[in-house]
Amino acid sequence: MSTSITTISPEQLTDGVRAFIRAAEEHDGVAPLSEQFLAGLGDASLGHTHRVARVGGQLAGLAAQAPDGSVELVVHPDYRRRGVAKEFIALLVDAPGNQPQFWAHGNLPAAQATAESVGLEATRELLVMSAAAGDLNLPHLSGAVPNGYEAVNYPEAVERFGRERVERDWLRVNNDAFSWHPEQGGWDMDRLHRGMAADWFDPAGVWFLYAQRPGEREPDLAGFHWTKRHPGGVGEVYVVGLASGYRGEGLGVPLMAAGLRHLVEGGSSQVILYVEADNEPAVRRYDETGFTVAESHVVYQKPAV
């Protein structure tokens, strides 16, 4: 049976699409779509383009592309080995002016084989590292906050400095720390507020490290640790960022400690985090803290000519 691919709007996405996304996750043991792409299914403001594949009139696959060119696609388990993923890839690669980056969550053998068969190469690897609460090397993070610094959470910071200033400084440090990052960098206030509007957002789970510089009346934000809680007792080191002027001083240690204690003391029995595989110092630091690699997520692209 032939495969037909059409572009649809978020308003046209049906419960059937979400059902087969769940079916794929249950089959593969890893979610095929990331948090942002799941949000894009129902939020047209994110600017994602959605294409669905039908085989014999039946819904067989979904490919979503973000404005930055990144693509996440999923094929229903009942319609695999029929070339659906290859047809999605060919359509996107051949589109004029398009340079898609295809995410393979879990980098499963089938995804590796498909990428190789169509001439895609791995260009980025994102690791998921995990640790049971009891395996966390908290003594490794037991260093006290250095003199001249103070760790406070979001509600405490807002009470002292006002919401506008806290969020302005948070955004500034985020964009400084992640100026190189394709997803976390370049945020505006609307993007920050969308993150804060998520169902899981816990104001008390965002920790700030402030520096009191000599001669300055007001403390300066040096860094932040944004934590997240998942169902089932899983906590996440969601984002840790340090302003460029405060790097190399070991300040990531008290920031990590503040967030991990918040998660563990709040009942998280497991903690996960995401880190770029080529960030060897960070991977090594997390390994020393008790984290081990649980999953690998890889970006595949057509080689540059």
Residues 10-62: tens digit of each pLDDT: 888 777 888 889 999 999 999 999 988 998 998 888 899 999 999 988 899 99
pLDDT of residue 16: 80
Pair 156, 184 in one domain: yes
Domain ranges, residue 234: 130-295
Angstrom distance (rounded) from CA 277 to CA 266: 29
In a domain, 91, yes or no: yes
287 and 141 housed in the same domain: yes
Residue 280 has pLDDT above 80, yes or no: yes
Considering 5-9, 95-99, 116-120, 286-290, the range whose residues carry the highest mean pLDDT is 116-120
Residues 176 and 285 in one domain: yes
Asked if 154 and 268 sit in the same domain, the reply is yes
Residues 250 and 175 in one domain: yes
Q: Kindly state whether residues 48 and 78 are assigned to the same domain.
A: yes
Whether residues 136 and 102 share a domain: the answer is no
Structure pTM? 0.86
Predicted confidence at residue 96, as pLDDT, reads: 78
Taking the C-alpha atoms of residue 56 and residue 59, their distance in angstroms, rounded to an integer, is: 9
Q: Is residue 125 part of a domain?
A: no
Statement to judge: residues 103 and 167 lie in one domain: no
Residues 114 and 134 in one domain: no
Answer with the one of 93, 119, 145 that is the final residue of a domain: 119
- 214: three-class secondary structure by DSSP: coil
| Same-domain pairing of 98 and 231 | no
User: DSSP H helical segments within the chain, as ranges?
Assistant: 15-28, 35-40, 84-94, 109-117, 154-161, 163-177, 189-196, 252-265, 280-289
CATH of the domain at 81: 3.40.630.30
Among 119, 138, 170, identify where a domain stops: 119
**Shared-domain flag, residues 272 and 136:** yes
252-265 and 280-289 helices, crossing angle to 10°: 40
